Structure 1
């Protein structure tokens, strides 16, 4: 991570800043968890990506073409695999009677330095730095005056154009050989590109870069306040791309802390998360050990690394650049304007119409999964100690003439079989869920609550929380403000007292809070804190991709990737206390008659950190994006810590469930799960 003269990032790796193992919980001393790894079905390694890169943005087109991104590859790889890119598999189509070939592990530097696939060839459609329409650069936002945002000083969440993620293709002809590809860029300010692509008679695809658009630079996106950290997404049942803002800086509470902990202690010192320091001048300084040792009782403010890029976001919105000891006082991002699902209506238009679904709640969204009833949406929030959420609209979402009128109820999941799951191997435990209703609102109502905070700037941080005039002594005023915010919270935003008042009222009568105009905003703008306050299970560790087959019906499955099962899922507190598996797992849930899900069943379990190479090499590690194909097979993409593997690359696996004719449970890639007792003794791993 590059340091800059004025605004310095916390000491962290690029991988951490991009969402991989942010809290550093993976550890080689992890014990041997029984039945890890395990697969209920068959895994086939279909691709390995270039060194340093994640496998992101999987999408299979109507004609069977697989598209995926090359995200943040090592700059040391040979071209073209040393820059971020968007590509597809040429010469192979997924579909009936396909013959998927498993690719071997990348056991040479040459194999490790490029993208490899089992069938066909990976071909790049566009790359970081490509010139596109309006003489812009692919993936890079500009100021309102057209100045490339990367030219300004300020902390970076990542290099611009380097981090393509979600790909959602919207066909514009009947056979799906022509259309527009929407791609997320995981940065701050964030971006989504719209790129026309077309397939020729030989199956190859070409991109029309001249008519490719950085949607961040459109007036419609700037009016919404832009986006941050655009991660994965979905294609809605009504045919539009949905981009998820992975707003990692949204936590107001670190770890498992609750607002009631603060109220009981009479101070928030040691409990504060990143969002409380959102409008602090030089905000990423709160992520340095020197700062949190002095001001926050030695506790890292969760999500502080993701405060990087906020000044650049301000310049993107039109703020004037400032000097070392000058707070931004004219234009600054509203803390409550990012962290949502963005729907690009009219995707066939050169400039689609973006709308944010504020009513879905605010979090570090990895992905939404919208059900075919067009009312029910499941949402995963990435990072440590996060929740699992559901939104249910009153009417089908596309039936509203104006998406700002979308109305519905936001829910948070609670795991109800704590005792059954306690200290058990995750492979042996189904998680039973109840859904706690947080509140009901319209999208327009939530937007009006957000607008109340539009004028808050870095100047307010100092003038609200410090007695010293910052113009006379900037450092003294900043120190006073930091102490006041750490103790009493940021008074420029929703307060601790408001959250606790909402929680108390909800506990008395969950329906009563819907009628309280002074408190209704709390669960929509401070979703995680509200869910914690009423006992929802805010313990999931890196809850990642979520997907179901297009037009899924009751009886079909939703798949959910948990990249790491540690932290809040494996400690001795709360609802989840399972045995630790740093390699994570994939759950699935059967869709019920009302599109509810109530049981998470483990179908893939990754390796332990302690597993040797002959186990780890052929097991999944840290599943991130998941994509369910039309035939029910699942593409599983890694954002991996390497543990015991003999190679450093992330992989894409094709998962074939048992019911689709896989070899079967216990016969392939099941690691030490092959033994009745689930241990490693006498079992080297893969049975083939």
Structure 2
């Protein structure tokens, strides 16, 4: 997802039996369809949100029944309940933060993923990410009778040094929340000069109080500097040293960029960082039904796709996972319709979370794990390898044997550090396909034993004419299907939902009809991001695009290929959080988030902005919103994590 802002909707589903809705009491639901929405065209439609007004259920006796849907607002960013404001950013001491680099203020507009958690003492909570540096998660307790929010509670991450850019997420089969620390810019390649041999090194500036400003020494805004500054303000660490890998008393960039877990235990929220998921830019993780295989996506350009296989199936909250981490290696078979690939897996390493945390506590630098040389003159004859990751060319040599740093006791420890602290670099070093472009949402389909994977944009590293992946550019992106074997191992990947750019030719009918407002055809997906499979061969797809003047939500039938527009959000917004669903009392709920209304600038087929006036006129409406859509019958949708 882009570095951005919000508004959330929760689908609330009324307590109507899924059975007996057809011609007889034994009739069972066999298919669902959302009534399609038209394309938003008017000024009023562009500045509003809209969700389809009905769901049509088909039963086994051939009958159909319609269920009306309605929307209700629950919370907005900044709403105060008790001692807290929803979306307020707090520091390590639970005090409000302000003047944070790369944020708009102390109240976030950026809610993202949700999970719906029912606790052992009968309470119901929505866990919501706020996609900020530093990150923030809130738990909103729901009244099971009214579906109103009763209270909000910030989730304390101080025990793990805080969190960052909490993006997409999922719910585990053991009723906990997993979230991705989508750490775009705390890449170690920016943190060390390697004796002047690393052209990617960034020198950040501090203000008179010792806080990083978000600018480099040339006065230019820099995301790495902003991220360091944001976490610095969270930690209150004024001793971060740019000349020593940006290590501080508390700050260590190797502490961020993992999958985090949140659980409700003994009447309170508890958290864990699962370091064995690897450090990169994790969008999210999803757990397979075996409770031990996970897949993780990696957002950005020149990124990877990862699989973690735990040593044991998990049945509850466990802070110390142990397992084996893999990176995908693909062989392209076709470049048509998004491409078709064989998939294999390269083992990166085996470890437990506690082992990796112990390595982090040694405060190694990139140059303790790899020797670094200037990539413009990489001495490959001396054992160095030239790799590309995160759009950066790098010249690296693993520091084992005679090269081993005194920070490490053995070559095995060096390899563990490489596998879990420098996951993407090490994967590229070992020959994995670090060429995926903006890998985003993941969703498991138990009916067909496949994993769906959103690629927001086919371009850059996927269309550069080099390496394992070479596809025609498609700025509108695609959704892929990963075919799994009986052990949930992915072995094939193929495009199934493909966006359609509008041709800039003035004589093209699509250009004439849509080109002044739309860069990607509005009857097709554009930059798919969040995914959720809800049963009945139905995959929900949420957009994160600047090529549709309104981002949309789609229902895609994975068997028939039917694509139905079921929601749109205000211009300037992004759809997020298509994840959480389950019973709250007798009401079934499903969350649907919308980020940063009236913020993004959208482009038409000619590349020109089309919504700046809307954004200017609606500056006061940029708050995140949490709401529910009521009406889907309880029992219709089965919970699939």
| TM-score > 0.5 by shorter chain | yes
Deviation at 1:608, TM superposition (A): 2.2
Counterpart of 1:85 (choices 2, 7, 10) is 7
Q: Report the equivalent of 2:35.
A: 101
| Match among 143, 147, 159 for residue 91 of structure 2 | 143
The equivalent position to 1:450 in structure 2, one of 356, 360, 363, is 360
SS in structure 2 at match of 1:578:
coil
Selected match of 1:338 from 244, 248, 256: 256
Aligned partners of 1:442 and 1:525: how far apart in 2? 13
Deviations 1:213-255 (A, max 9, x none): 111xx3xx1120110000011111111111111000143459x
Distance (whole Å) between structure 1 residues aligned to residue 322 and residue 401 of structure 2 = 22
Query: Per the alignment, do residues 129 and 291 of structure 1 end up closer, same or farther by CA in structure 2, a change over 3 Å counting?
Result: closer
Question: Is the alpha carbon distance of 1:563 and 1:502 closer, same or farther for their aligned partners in structure 2, counting shifts above 3 Å?
Answer: farther
CA contact (8 A) 1:582 1:609 kept: no
Which blocks of at least 5 consecutive residues in structure 1 are unaligned? 1-14, 19-71, 73-83, 293-303, 457-495, 506-512, 666-688
Do residues 121 (structure 1) and 70 (structure 2) align? yes
2:180 match: 244
Q: Could you tell me which residue of structure 2 aligns to residue 413 of structure 1? A: 328
2:276 counterpart SS class = helix
Unaligned runs of 5+ in 2: 19-28, 54-68, 366-393, 404-408, 505-510, 515-519, 565-641
User: What is the deviation of 1:287?
Assistant: 9.9
**What do residues 47-67 of structure 1 show as CA deviations (whole Å, max 9, x unaligned)?**
xxxxxxxxxxxxxxxxxxxxx
Q: Which residue of 2 aligns with 1:183?
A: 128
- The 1:587/1:16 distance shift into structure 2, 3 A limit, reads closer
How far is 1:87 from its partner?
A: 2.4
What is the Cα deviation at residue 194 of structure 1?
Answer: 0.9
The match for 1:464 is none
Q: For residues 330 and 619 of structure 1, do their structure 2 counterparts lie closer, same or farther at Cα, with a shift above 3 Å needed? A: closer
Q: Is the 8 A contact 1:184 1:230 kept in 2?
A: yes
Instruction: Report the Cα offset of residue 639 of structure 1.
Output: 0.5
Is the CA contact (8 Å cut-off) linking 1:368 and 1:378 kept in structure 2?
Answer: yes
Contact 1:112 1:649 in 2 (8 A): yes
* Counterparts of 1:436 and 1:388, CA distance in 2: 11
Q: Is 1:355 paired with 2:272? A: yes
Which structure 2 residues correspond to residues 185-334 of structure 1 after superposition, within 5 A? 185-200=130-145, 205-209=147-151, 212-215=152-155, 218=156, 221-252=157-188, 267-269=197-199, 272=200, 282=212, 284-286=214-216, 304-305=222-223, 307-319=225-237, 331-334=249-252
Seen in structure 2, the aligned counterparts of structure 1 residues 194 and 16 have a Cα distance that, compared at 3 Å, is: closer
1:598 to 475, 491, 495: 491
Corresponding position of 1:571: 464
The Cα shift of 1:90 comes to 5.3
Counterpart for residue 3 of structure 2? 17
TM superposition shift of 1:426 = 3.7
Mapping 1:364-375, distance limit 5 Å = 364-375=281-292
Give the C-alpha shift of residue 616 in structure 1. Answer: 0.3
Q: Is the 8 A contact 1:85 1:125 kept in 2?
A: no
For residues 157 and 278 of structure 1, what CA distance do their matches in structure 2 show?
Answer: 20
Counterpart of 2:34 in 1: which secondary structure?
A: coil
Residues 528, 543 of structure 2: 8 Å contact kept: yes
2:13 and 2:277 mapped to 1: Cα distance? Answer: 40
Identify the residue that residue 526 of structure 2 maps to in structure 1.
Answer: 621
> Given the superposition, is the C-alpha separation of residues 181 and 385 from structure 1 closer, same or farther in structure 2, using an over 3 Å criterion?
same
Q: 1:445 to 1:283 in 2, by over 3 A?
A: farther
8 Å contact from structure 1 (residues 397, 403) kept in 2: no
* Kept in 1: contact 2:246–2:253 (CA 8 A): no
Describe the SS at the equivalent of 2:126: strand
Structure 1 pair 187–306 and aligned structure 2 pair: CA distance change class (3 A):
farther
Report the RMSD for the aligned CA atoms in angstroms: 3.8
Q: CA deviation at 1:17?
A: 3.2
Displacement after TM superposition at 1:206 (Å): 1.0
Give the distance between the partners of 2:217 and 2:479, measured in 1 at CA. 31
> Structure 1 residues 517, 198: CA separation in 2 closer, same or farther (over 3 Å shift)?
same
Q: Does the aligned pair in 2 maintain the 1:196–1:208 contact within 8 Å?
A: yes
Equivalences for residues 383-394 of structure 1 within 5 A:
383-394=300-311
Judge conservation of contact 2:330–2:343 (CA < 8 Å) in 1: yes
Distance 1:266 1:173 in 2: 56
Once the two structures are TM-superposed, the CA of residue 431 in structure 1 deviates from its matched residue by: 1.3
Q: Deviation at 1:320?
A: 5.8
1:403 to 319, 327, 330: 319
Contact 2:134 2:165 in 1 (8 A): yes
Q: CA deviation at 1:102?
A: 0.8
For 1:576 and 1:328, the matched residues in 2 are separated by 35
1:385 aligned counterpart, secondary structure:
coil
1:484-495 correspondence runs (5 A) = none
1:196 Cα deviation after fit: 1.1
SS in 2 for 1:336: helix
Q: Is residue 114–residue 126 contact of structure 2 (8 Å, CA) maintained in 1?
A: yes
Larger strand share, 1 or 2: 2
Contact kept? 1:583, 1:609, Cα under 8 Å: no
CA distance in 2, matches of 1:307, 1:610: 39
| SS of equivalent residue, structure 2 residue 453 | strand
User: In 2, Cα distance between the equivalents of 1:180 and 1:153?
Assistant: 28
- Aligned counterparts of 1:592 and 1:329: Cα–Cα separation in 2: 43
